[in-house]
Structure 1
Amino acid sequence: MLTRLAGGDVPVPGLIAEPAGALCMRHVPGTHGQELIRAGHAAAVLRSCGQTLRRIQAVDASAVFDGVPPGAAVVVHGDYGPNNMLFDPVSFGAAAVLDWEWAHPGEPVEDLAWCEWIIRMHHPDVVGELGSLFIGYGDRPSWRRRRAAMLAKCETMLAPPRPDGDTSPGARRWRRNLEITGAWTE
């Protein structure tokens, strides 16, 4: 994704090398989104998240993913939110979108809902600022659609289902996350 998006309208770090099992990227000056949220800048960070997501979704997915017909899907980051972004600490513009390993063609609501999930789960004290995300994005899909996308993503974290009823700590955590997410209201 870093090479496919390089030089376009989506801020990604430049790829220097790909040694076995690793990526070497150029340094991108900026401040981690979660750090800025903790410093009291949630509204500005979320507005920038919404604006940047629009830029990501404006990329032609058929040019990025093989076998995707034009207009059939958008580029989905797969773990989109301030947790995977660096920002200019003054303007709050996105400096880089990081960690593209779950990228895939999909529906526009996926990344928007996951960004909301990150805030609700990890920054519940700033849930009141989520309106800034939708303002930056330019749309606020229905709560039903956003919640369904959040639940679907949590379900994928449990996949594939195991016949032994997986009781690993990770499976227990994602079952609990499903319960928490299912109980949320807008």
Structure 2
Amino acid sequence: MGRTALIVIDMLSTYEHPDAEVLMRSVRGALPGVEALLERARAADAPVIYVNDNFGRWRSHHGELLEAALAGPCADLVEPIVPDEESLFVVKARHSVFYETPLAYLLTQLGVRTVVLCGQVTEQCVLYSALDAHIRHLDVVVARDAVAHIDGGLADAALRMMQRNMGADIRSSREITFEEAHSA
């Protein structure tokens, strides 16, 4: 059956981009779902993997990215979901969590068969990551109340595409469990 891993996409952000205001409103709505998933995954001892943009800081590591996000004007959107000591971290430079990152290898090493995606942005990074997971023959679950968007219409369309074209299981964060994490 394989393990289930929680993938937290781009939630460690400084929100310094043109669409930040719109995105921050959506992130505030998604934050409780992300927090609930983190709590449930950690309680089940499931792998929790943060995959985050590097903001163009090519000499930085995850600690510096986290510090920058916590020092920014939207630290309240980051503090509730800070990685714990057990969390894994992958830095990405493009939209997909898989594109030129070691994530696929890491998931194989952990015996992961199912990925639960949460984070931002639904119609961009979450969509592309779901497609890349599907291409890699991983089962994909997307927590619809734990993803944030810039454009609500595109986000709804992206969720429908993930479900229809990629066979993604789209459901509420409270319906997602991580019991499979112990069957590795």
| TM, length-normalised to structure 1 | 0.30
Greater strand content = 2
| TM, length-normalised to structure 2 | 0.30
**Greater RCO (CA < 8 Å, at least 6 residues apart):** 2
Larger Rg: 1
